[in-house]
């Protein structure tokens, strides 16, 4: 039996309706030699997971923005300046 535990799935979303509306909820599943376990994440634990990922989310967003800007600049011709002298 292996002691290795592997993250199989992680899902976090904001509740859209009901008593927990606007709170984060999640599920995380691990699999290992002894089987599989799924944990339900409450607002606090979900928020901690998102906080751990925050730097990566920001960096990914910046990279996408830079790529979009570069693509836009190469595809869009800038207008010729008009000299009204």
Q: Mean pLDDT score of the chain, rounded to an integer? A: 88
- Inform me whether the pLDDT recorded for 83 exceeds 90: no
User: Which residues, other chains included, contact 46 with Cβ-Cβ below 8 Å and sequence gap of 6+?
Assistant: 12, 24, 25, 26
Question: Model's pTM, two decimal places?
Answer: 0.64
**How does pLDDT run across 25-50, given as a tens digit for each residue?**
999 999 998 899 999 999 999 999 99
Contact 37, 30 (CB under 8 A): yes
pLDDT at 78: 63
pLDDT of residue 47: 93
User: What pLDDT score does 42 carry?
Assistant: 96
């Amino acid at each position: 039996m292996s002691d290795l535990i592997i993250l199989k799935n992680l899902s976090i979303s904001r509740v859209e309706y009901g008593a927990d509306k606007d709170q984060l909820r999640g599920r995380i599943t691990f699999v290992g030699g002894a089987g599989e376990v799924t944990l339900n994440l409450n607002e606090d634990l979900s928020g901690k997971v998102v906080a751990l990922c925050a730097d990566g989310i920001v960096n990914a967003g910046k990279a996408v923005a830079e790529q979009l800007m570069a693509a836009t600049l190469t595809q869009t011709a800038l207008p010729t300046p008009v000299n009204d002298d």
